[in-house]
Amino acid sequence: MAVREVVTYPARVLKGLTGPVGEIGPRERALAEDLVDTMYDSPGCVGLAAPQLGVPSRAFALDVSVMKKPPEGNHGLVVLFDPELVLATGSELAREGCMSVPDYTCDVRRATDVVVRGTTPAGETRVIEATGFEARAFQHELDHLEGLLVLDRVAARSDVFPRKRRAAKGQHLK
């Protein structure tokens, strides 16, 4: 249980693939705690994936309820291992930031509604239906597990480089 340093690009762990976690043991639960502790310790952070702690494993923590205006119907703290995107519908362009690409935001097109399935730290399968900003956060975290950053998700050149240097408070996805 510890707040760990968040890895920033160009660290290679952020661009690599991640390995499946499988069985949840003490090591996995410790990783889950580190993800949660580090996420809550980082101002404006609503999600953190294992590669951002330098761990190439398929795991992330997410909590959009900490936002200034928490999205309605959000699921609070979610920690998932081996998460999968089961369904994604809708499409919306919105601003995202990433703790691993500091002081940078860009517009990213994401699905507005998703269904995500994964394993909780207790070893149970959990299926979550998320919408809006929470759905966006899930997709951002899932991208980290594929070595994808917001820079890979740019939809058009005009979306890439807004001149604003910092995301609004609470808009950092990880």
Partner 1 sequence: MHELAVTAIGADRPGIVAAVARVLHERGGNLEDSAMTILGGHFAIVLLVATEDGPEELREALTTATAELGLTISVSTADSERRAADPTHLLSVYGADKPGIVAGVTSALAEVGANIVDLETQVIGADTDPVYAMAIELETDAPAEVTAAVERACAELGVDHMLRAIAAETY
* Interface with partner 1, residue 41, by CB under 8 A: no
Of 8, 19, 40, 53, which Cα lies nearest the Cα of 150? 8
- Shortest separation between residue 38's beta carbon and partner 1, angstroms: 17
Torsion-angle region of 132 (φ positive above 0: left; ψ -120 to 50: alpha; else: beta): left
Among 29-37, 67-75, 79-87, 88-96, the segment contacting partner 1 (CB under 8 A): 88-96
Which of the residues 131 through 150 are near partner 1 (CB under 8 A)?
148
- Euclidean distance between CA atoms 123 and 130, whole angstroms: 21
Select 43 or 123, whichever has its Cβ closest to partner 1. Answer: 43
43, 76, 87, 89: residue in contact with partner 1 (rule CB under 8 A): 89
- 141 given a catalytic annotation: yes
- Shortest separation between residue 49's beta carbon and partner 1, angstroms: 17
Q: Please, what is the end-to-end C-alpha distance for the chain in angstroms?
A: 19
- Euclidean distance between CA atoms 94 and 61, whole angstroms: 21
Select 27 or 166, whichever has its Cβ closest to partner 1. Answer: 166
Of 30, 125, 26, 34, which Cα lies nearest the Cα of 82? 125
Instruction: Give start and end residues of each alpha helix (H) in the chain.
Output: 26-41, 132-144, 157-160
* Interface with partner 1, residue 156, by CB under 8 A: yes
- Shortest separation between residue 103's beta carbon and partner 1, angstroms: 7
Q: What does each C-alpha distance from 80 to 16, 88, 127, 161 come to in angstroms?
A: 19, 18, 10, 32
Among 2-10, 56-64, 65-73, 125-133, the segment contacting partner 1 (CB under 8 A): 2-10
- Euclidean distance between CA atoms 51 and 55, whole angstroms: 5
Which of the residues 96 through 115 are near partner 1 (CB under 8 A)?
101-104, 109, 111
- Shortest separation between residue 16's beta carbon and partner 1, angstroms: 11
Residue positions annotated with a catalytic role:
141
Query: Can you give the binding site for partner 1, defined by CB under 8 A?
Result: 8-10, 15, 88-91, 101-104, 109, 111, 148, 151-157, 160-161, 163
